[in-house]
Amino acid sequence: MMKGYKGKYLKVNLSSGAAGSENIEEGFARSYIGGLGFGARTLLDTVPKGTEPFSLDNILAWWTGPTAGTLAPTGSKYAVFALSPLTGLFGFGISTGGFGNELKSAGWDGIVIAGRCEKPAYLFVDDENAQLRDAVNYWGKSTWETEDLIKEELGDSAVRVAAIGPAGERLVRIGNITNDKNRQVGRSGMGAVMGSKNLKAVAVRGTGDVEVGDLDGLTKFAAELNERCQGPKTEKYRVYGTPANILVHNRLGCLPSYNFQRGTFEKAEDVSGERMLKTHVKKILACTNCSIGCDHVNEVKEGPYAGTVASVDYESLGQLGPLCGVGDLNVITKAVEICDKLGVDTISAGVIAAWAMECFEKGLLSKDDADGLDLRFGNGEALLDALNRMCLREGKLGNLLAEGVRRASQTVGKGSDKFAIHCKGMEWAAYSMRSLKTSTLGFCTSIRGADYLRSGSYQVDVAGKVDRFKLDRSRGKIVRDGEDQYAIIDSLIICKFTRGIYSSMDEIAKLYTLVTGIEMSGKQMITAGERIYNAAKCFNVRFGASRKDDYPPPRAFEEPMIDDVTKGARITREEFDEALDGYYEERGWTKEGMPTKGKLLELGLDGEADEVGA
Amino acid sequence: MPEGVIVEFTGPFREIAQARNVTIEIEGKTTLEGLIRKLSEMYGEEFGKRIISEEGTGIRADSAMVAINQRVIDLSKALSQPVAPGDRVVFALAITGGG
């Protein structure tokens, strides 16, 4: 019997109310590891070509990794997968907190949900039992309220709840799922898919144990890893958190501001991590199973937003702050709180709002289009109002922005698509396109859309390993290696903040073997990572993705940067094409970005070789 | 008349120096190692310890980032980098991302 895994998942059909158990075989587990790998396989096996994201045919797959519920540091994560309503491609988000551990303790590696509830309901998984319960009275409630109300109804404050807010209910395409109040399944709109299924929440109570392959070995190794987590490699996360990036990016001219028109922000000091630590951070929290503790929770102490509490990381801070021209930490904290409670992704929300502000300033959105808001850059009150409207689909503006930046720019037209900053329809995270060029390549090849979390390719740019102002063929290998490595991290699923504490992939494989009892080398892990990435890519090809979808927005090519520190920086189409060619070559794909039959067969993806292999 | 190297600090380096930036006067050229030595004399040994690796041969890649005139320095080759009057040098925490 496999260890680490529970060896089964819960299958639920919301339309019929039927629930059952399905087994997970060792061969499958070895090939796809868990988390991202299981999700890629599930989407390939269950979502046919032509499916619409909000249709009955889309599914919602929840997967843990083998490390969930064990001593493995930061292993408590879980992920949710579906055809994304934002990109129309492979969608997923990873969250942390205690939900993943609880699901495992309840006896399940995951839950695969199909169909749609007739009226709002929530799924309660109580160890082996699953039950759909009425959620009509919770519909319209915020993520935080819903969690409290369900715990109260069940009479158990230890139950873990993952819920959507009003945004997911209203099919806002950047809708999140929230658990433990401030942990989110973000990006790509998994909360909106949940809303389309009339599923308000999933609540879990688990009372069982998770057996591991080698308890003594894992205990010893986990202690060693936890010790490393207290060392210098993670000090930056523990003390300053990711907001420390603001000043560094600003100095390097790669802090996106004013909708990516610029790479510096004149009020960077006012919104810096250093300032935030002194004036706003109320406490620093750690997720379940984490010995780092990076979550910086802000509290607004005075002014109109006094009492606001929200976890503020670099991405949220950057996209709801400098990107919108806002230099006030009180406003930014409030903006994050609105997004978290109503249930949308902060990165996407910031990029959409910044695009609307640029449209407004350029006269492409009138005051009437903006429902009377004075939507200029830097107007914090207007930002908060626009976010509320977006989350609730209120008025003309709210309905426009709720569609995501790509669709919104297509609706407005008038050339506004040129500064709709996305790739594959997903809004760009807080890394400059033109002054961190390896990062840009990684954002574009990402299976999920503009995403720093798929390859971490920004790292070579900011570590001086390459000339960040140039691109060439060799960057393809850097991105590909990062993607395969991150695919393993996201399949186990462990926190990327711990990536520096492992000396090699062999050590990650050691962790896997200690947890599962399945022998695995670092090299085999990397092959699994490649398999998983190719599987997700095949899903995108099924839905029409090709080379045309792997490009940054026009601003990256057409508008040189204007900041003193990076003046003139832009990407040429020639250098980007060369780098993309290099990436496809490294992947063993065609020049059109299609996986070849040979590569897919080599990875054991036989069905996909027949279906989409070139 | 000696010219200055403009040094900017963020994160822990700002806390040690208790300043956002400082101008260091040098005559002719020096190296990054020379500049760090000078800053360590000014702010104490902790400054240097936070930047230079235990072996003393490079920069601590796990926790520091150094940029000279917006160019991020490859940390394995950093100490021998020339620094000249008029240069802007940034000492910062290594950039982080992920979760």
Query: In the prediction, which pLDDT does A271 show?
Result: 97
Collect all residues of chain A within an 8 Å Cβ-Cβ radius of residue B71: 464
Six-digit token pair at A524?
Answer: 């085999």
- CATH number for the region B3-92 comes to 3.10.20.30
Contact call for A464 and B74, based on CB within 8 A: yes
Cβ(A498)–Cβ(A292) below 8 Å: yes
Three-state SS at A590: coil
Instruction: Using the predicted structure, report yes or no on whether residue B77 has a pLDDT greater than 80.
Output: no
The confidence score (pLDDT) of residue B58 equals: 72
CA distances from A83 to A36, A88, A118, A549 (A): 14, 6, 21, 16
The first and second tokens of residue A497, run together, are 């903040």
Tell if the CB–CB gap between A468 and B62 is shorter than 8 Å: no
The domain locations on chain A are 8-205, 238-427, 437-551+572-612
SS3 A160: strand
Question: Closest approach of chain B CAs to the CA of A454, in angstroms?
Answer: 9
Place of tokens 């003139």: A568
Q: Is the pLDDT of residue A551 over 70?
A: yes
Quick one: residue A290, left, alpha or beta (phi over 0 = left, psi -120 to 50 = alpha)? beta
Q: Which chain B residue's Cα is nearest to A496?
A: B99
A273 neighbourhood in chain B, CB within 8 Å: 11
The model's pTM: 0.96
Q: Does B19 touch chain A (CB under 8 A)?
A: no
**Residues in chain B, overall count:** 99
Three-state SS for A200?
strand
Task: Provide, rounded to the nearest whole percent, the portion of chain A with pLDDT above 90.
Answer: 93
Partners of A63 in the β-ladder: A79, A110
Least confident of A72-86, A422-436, B82-96: B82-96
Closest C-alpha to A550, from A462, A390, A443, A396: A443
Q: Are B92 and A251 in contact (CB under 8 A)?
A: yes
Report the SS3 class of residue A473: coil
Cα–Cα dist A314/A272, whole Å = 9
Domain A238-427 class? mainly alpha
| B70 in contact with A, Cβ within 8 Å | yes
Residue A441's identity, in one-letter code, is L
Amino acid identity of residue A49, one-letter, is K
Rounded Cα distance, B21 and B19, in Å? 5
User: How many other C-beta atoms can be found within 10 angstroms of the C-beta atom of residue A413?
Assistant: 9
In single-letter form, the type of residue at position A387 comes to L
Tokens of A191: 């909360």
Predicted confidence band of residue B74 (pLDDT cuts 50, 70, 90): confident
Average confidence score pLDDT of chain A: 96
Q: How confident is the model at residue B3 (pLDDT cuts 50, 70, 90)?
A: confident
Q: For testing the chain B interface, which of A251, A287, A294 should be mutated: the one with the most B CBs within 10 Å?
A: A251
By DSSP bridging, strand A199-205 and strand A121-126 are parallel
Contacts with B1 (C-beta within 8 Å, 6 or more apart), sequence order: none
Contacts of A245 in chain B (CB under 8 A): 95-97
List CB contacts (< 8 A) between B65 and chain A.
248, 462-464
The hierarchical CATH code for the domain A8-205 is 3.60.9.10
Residue B97 pLDDT > 80: no
pLDDT for B44-63, tens place per residue?
Answer: 988 888 888 777 777 776 77
Q: Where do the domains of chain B lie?
A: 3-92
Asked if B93 reaches chain A (Cβ–Cβ under 8 Å), the answer is yes
Helices A475-492 and A573-587 pack at an angle, to 10 degrees, of 50
Minimum-distance CB partner of B14 among A274, A294, A495: A274
CA nearest to A249 within chain B? B95
Contact A235 B63 (CB under 8 A): yes
List chain A residues with CB under 8 Å of B94.
Answer: 236, 462-463
pLDDT tens for residues A493-550? 999 888 888 999 999 999 999 999 999 999 999 999 999 999 999 999 999 999 999 9
CB-CB neighbors (< 8 A) of B73 in chain A: 464
Residue B1: band (very low, low, confident or very high) from pLDDT cuts 50, 70, 90: low
Q: Mark yes or no for CB contact A464/B75 under 8 Å.
A: yes
Give the residue carrying structure tokens 């207290």: A230
Query: What is the arithmetic mean of pLDDT over A332-351?
Result: 98
Copy the structure tokens of residue A141: 């409630």
List of chain B residues whose C-beta atoms are within 8 Å of the C-beta of residue A495: 98-99
Q: How far apart are CA A36 and CA A307, in angstroms?
A: 37
Rounded to a whole number of angstroms, the CA Rg of chain B reads 13
Given an 8 Å threshold on Cβ–Cβ distance, is B65 in contact with A452?
A: no
pLDDT given at position A154: 98
pLDDT at position A101 over 60: yes
Considering only CB atoms, A274 lies closest to which of B10, B71, B95, namely B10
Q: Which CATH class is domain A437-551+572-612?
A: mainly alpha
Q: Would the CB atoms of B70 and A235 count as touching at under 8 Å?
A: no
Please report which residue ranges of A493-572 form alpha helices under DSSP H. Answer: 505-516, 522-542, 554-558
Residue A493 main-chain phi, psi, to 5 deg: -95, 125
pLDDT number for residue B99: 61
